[in-house]
Structure 1
Amino acid sequence: MSASMIGMLGILIMFVLLVLRVPVAFAMFAVGFAGITILDSSRSAFSLLASESFTLASSPELVVIPLFILMGNVASVTGMSQRLYDAAYAIIGQFRGGLASATVIGCGGFAALSGSSVASALTMGKVALGQMDRFNYNTRLSTGVVAAGGTLGILIPPSTGFVIYAILTEQSIGRLFLAGVLPGILLLLLFIVMIMVICYFKPDFGPAGPKTNLQEKSKAILGAGPIVAVILLTIGGIYGGLFSPVEAAAVGAGFVILVGFVSRSLNIRMLWKAARDAVVTTATVMLILIAAHMINPFMALSHIPTAVGEFLSMLDLGVTGTLILILMIYLVLGCFLEGFAMLVLTLPIFFPIIMQLGIDPIWFGVLTVLTLEMGLISPPVGINVFIVKSVAPNVELGDIFRGVLPFWLMMILAVALLMAFPQIVLVLPNTMFG
């Protein structure tokens, strides 16, 4: 059997394991280790496992993962995300569809703290769905907004998706964080525009909420001050060159903990739980990364990236055509696979092709992450949809999928705009890093 056939068989076995709900890290590790053993030797496989595990565990760049996760966990338990939502609602809740727009803004703010789409959807679902139900919002709109708004979690920095992409492709985490800022804001605005369009044609979907006076608005905005401050401190500090992404993560985590203790919304028990959850999540991510570094050499030994590159060259689609084809593959895979799994499975194959075509890796990273996010609300898997279903068990799953469809179309539009105008992605990282 040829090396390429062994590689294809390994990928097929990995898909089968993932369908059988074997954890992503274990599925990749088993296939990568076995593949390297077959194509090289068991000694090489054990040596690679030992060296890559140590290298990743001692990598200072990966410190951003537990720190940003801790920051998001503390912000959630102290109610900072709730206060940002309250501020947005106080300002625009009185307008038709305003509560849904406030939910999107809340998701965006929480995304800037947690870096997790699932966490954003879960937290904002608990906070916002009850409020929208109280004001008689149509369940398709309310659940669709929460599921779609949660996708901002992996695009608006700090993003664990960008960290994984950076580690796998050896790109700058700081550049990727800055590259995600404007696309994240663009997507947030497109979601709000879609809410306005829906409520214009179907006013009963998003009735106007009660008006708030200036004093109530001021109080709500003041309450959201800490979360706005930490966002400006971390992202602004990176952009201004005051500190690196790792230092920004430490400053952000320290700031939210300090605010929590000063405001008495955080105690030792809550901090311990937030830290423990951060450790568990970090361990999961680290296992995936170690497994990914077993898959990459297996893919190289099987010559599959070279074969795929030659096949795409033979199709003669050009740079734009090849990029669109790759993104379409991600879109289809996103209906069946979890985002991290797709990154570690496909980047060893597609990234060499991207570099060969001269496509900017930072631009490609943002397009890839945005396309992966679409998978979070695409049937049949749609992780965010199932998260929202768990929070709103009385809403039919089909209604939630119908609710996210308009926002899914907005994500398609966002991808098209970023492809047509790459500077939306590149202006901030190029301004800072030159």
Structure 2
Amino acid sequence: MMSLLTVVLLIVLVAIRTPISMTLGISALITFWVGGLPLRIIPQALTGSVFNFTLLAVPFFILAGNLMNTGGLTDRIFNFARSVVGRIPGGLAHVNVFASTLFAGISGSAVADIAGLGVIEYRAMKEAGYRNAFSAAITAVSGCIGPIMPPSIFMIIYAVIAEVSVAKLFIAGIIPAILMTLVLMIAIYIQVRSGREVCPIDPPTPFSYKWKTFKAALLTLGTPIIVLYGMVGGLVTPTQAGIIAVVYTIIIGFIYRELTWSKMVEAFKESALLTSHVIFLVAIAGMLGWIVTYERVGETLTNFFLSLTDNPLLVLLIILVILLFAGTIMSGTEALIILAPILVPVILNYGIDPIHFGVVMCLALAIGVVTPPIGVGLFVISNISKLKIESIVPATIPYIISLIICLLIVTFVPELSTWLPDLIVKE
């Protein structure tokens, strides 16, 4: 009964445009007070949810991505991507997606991808004569790869909530992230070949130039390799991997002479602000999680689903609809923190692999980054491009549909998520 009150409060507060972080806290506090629940639980729930060593990885990966952005290292990634795929029909649109895939393996965040590399991508497409709305749309949707390609901040938070291996979850995201890249590039190719988008193509580049851009980006691209090798090999924990990523990024930033002390201070400030928001949400989620456990919401929801069907695939389809809808009204991090404690017990009762479900959940919420009306990525790219969101959204629709198709493939072919971690990670 108390959980129903929480849901009603959440809906009302969201409807009156209360910030989500405040909405979660107010809903939980009122539920505790009205329901006569022991108030001494509140500080325990708040602190208990954030006293998790794995969560320390979040600020370090955020910082590594911001250091890449402020240090100008993203230019090297873009130039390398352009030399590789700039000749494909669709030109810089393909470069945009390919570069975002490479940068995703460093930042772990869709917003960081769009805000950092997206500035370079959009400017290059605009200067080359691409349609402004199309350039903005591709820059936004390509950022959705960030939460899936390891390292991923979404996946770290999910791993903490679901109590699963971060290393296995990171590895599980590799094939789906590559699939997202291919699906988006195919959609771009179809749009260009059909004449819906007119895209200039880069002139041929000699192999020597490709090799030059590869060497220039080599140290930058080494970050995700070092992180994954250390974690998969059992050499470091996720938190230690995050620290290594930061130290390595700082070193190569100074080697390239593109990272200055002032830029480093700026990156630390931005990372502190974003981290404080994420950790605050996790703390508030501790109160909601206590209510969910106390009220046995997972058990109730499982029984409800069982009354509808005993088919795990149908249950996954229903959950996908819930996740995609949640992505339209709140950020991915907020939706993940609210829904994961409720949905994980359900999928476990249906025998669904929590690693597979983690990838599915992160992918569905990543699509929400560019889904109106609350898609954070749309606001970021609108600020970069100076275009109104209403003019960007129509251009994103073919690519959002492509990502949803990709989501369905990953959902109903679990081997895409489970084969690689089962093969590589031995626990």
Q: Is the 8 A contact 2:151 2:224 kept in 1?
A: no
Partner of residue 389 from structure 2, selected from 397, 402, 426: 397
Structure 2: distance between partners of 1:433 and 1:36 = 42
Shift of 1:85: 0.7
Shift of 1:381: 2.2
Structure 1: distance between partners of 2:264 and 2:408 = 42
| Counterpart check, 1:283 vs 2:279 | no
- 3-state secondary structure, aligned to 1:91: helix
Matches within 5 A, 1:145-160: 145-160=138-153
Shift of 1:24: 2.5
When the two structures are superposed, what TM-score results if normalisation uses the length of structure 1? 0.93
- Hey, what does 1:221 align to over in structure 2? 214
- Count of aligned positions: 426
Q: Is the 8 A contact 1:96 1:203 kept in 2?
A: no
| Counterpart check, 1:346 vs 2:339 | yes
Segment of structure 1 superposing worse, 396-405 or 95-104: 396-405
Matches within 5 A, 1:99-248: 99-202=92-195, 205-248=198-241
Partner of residue 311 from structure 1, selected from 301, 304, 309: 304
Kindly provide the amino acid, as one letter, of the partner of residue 358 in structure 1. Answer: G
Kindly provide the amino acid, as one letter, of the partner of residue 151 in structure 2. Answer: P
Segment of structure 1 superposing worse, 240-249 or 112-121: 240-249
Partner of residue 94 from structure 1, selected from 87, 91, 99: 87
| Counterpart check, 1:22 vs 2:18 | yes
Structure 1: distance between partners of 2:66 and 2:26 = 32
Partner of residue 404 from structure 2, selected from 409, 412, 429: 412
| Counterpart check, 1:10 vs 2:18 | no
Partner of residue 36 from structure 1, selected from 32, 52, 62: 32
When the two structures are superposed, what TM-score results if normalisation uses the length of structure 2? 0.94
Identity of aligned residues (%): 26
- Hey, what does 1:293 align to over in structure 2? 286
Segment of structure 1 superposing worse, 371-380 or 251-260: 371-380
Kindly provide the amino acid, as one letter, of the partner of residue 135 in structure 1. Answer: A
Q: Is the 8 A contact 2:62 2:271 kept in 1?
A: yes
Kindly provide the amino acid, as one letter, of the partner of residue 122 in structure 2. Answer: L
Structure 2: distance between partners of 1:378 and 1:276 = 28
Shift of 1:86: 0.8
Kindly provide the amino acid, as one letter, of the partner of residue 409 in structure 1. Answer: I
Instruction: Give the ranges of 4+ consecutive aligned residues of structure 1 lying more than 4 Å apart after TM superposition.
Output: none
Question: Residues 23, 396 of structure 1: CA spacing in aligned structure 2 closer, same or farther, 3 A cutoff?
Answer: closer
- Hey, what does 1:69 align to over in structure 2? 62
Question: Residues 193, 153 of structure 1: CA spacing in aligned structure 2 closer, same or farther, 3 A cutoff?
Answer: same
Q: Is the 8 A contact 2:148 2:362 kept in 1?
A: yes
Q: Is the 8 A contact 2:141 2:370 kept in 1?
A: yes
Segment of structure 1 superposing worse, 53-62 or 140-149: 53-62
- Hey, what does 1:324 align to over in structure 2? 317
- 3-state secondary structure, aligned to 2:150: coil
Q: Deviations over 1:283-333 (max 9, x none)?
A: 111111110010011123334433322221111252111111011111122
Q: Is the 8 A contact 2:360 2:410 kept in 1?
A: yes
Question: Residues 190, 204 of structure 1: CA spacing in aligned structure 2 closer, same or farther, 3 A cutoff?
Answer: closer
Shift of 1:201: 1.2
Structure 2: gaps spanning 5 or more residues = none
Shift of 1:373: 1.4
| Counterpart check, 1:423 vs 2:415 | yes
- 3-state secondary structure, aligned to 2:151: coil
Structure 2: distance between partners of 1:124 and 1:147 = 11
Structure 1: distance between partners of 2:214 and 2:398 = 30
- 3-state secondary structure, aligned to 2:146: helix
Shift of 1:339: 1.3
Structure 1: distance between partners of 2:88 and 2:315 = 44
Shift of 1:203: 7.4
Structure 1: gaps spanning 5 or more residues = none
Q: Deviations over 1:363-412 (max 9, x none)?
A: 0111011111122222222221222111112x453342122112112212
Kindly provide the amino acid, as one letter, of the partner of residue 421 in structure 1. Answer: V
Structure 2: distance between partners of 1:153 and 1:36 = 36
Structure 2: distance between partners of 1:53 and 1:307 = 25
Q: Deviations over 1:53-76 (max 9, x none)?
A: 443444221111111111111111
Question: Residues 240, 306 of structure 1: CA spacing in aligned structure 2 closer, same or farther, 3 A cutoff?
Answer: closer
- Hey, what does 1:387 align to over in structure 2? 380
Structure 1: distance between partners of 2:296 and 2:51 = 30
Q: Is the 8 A contact 1:71 1:253 kept in 2?
A: yes
Kindly provide the amino acid, as one letter, of the partner of residue 111 in structure 1. Answer: A
Kindly provide the amino acid, as one letter, of the partner of residue 280 in structure 2. Answer: L
Structure 1: distance between partners of 2:222 and 2:303 = 50
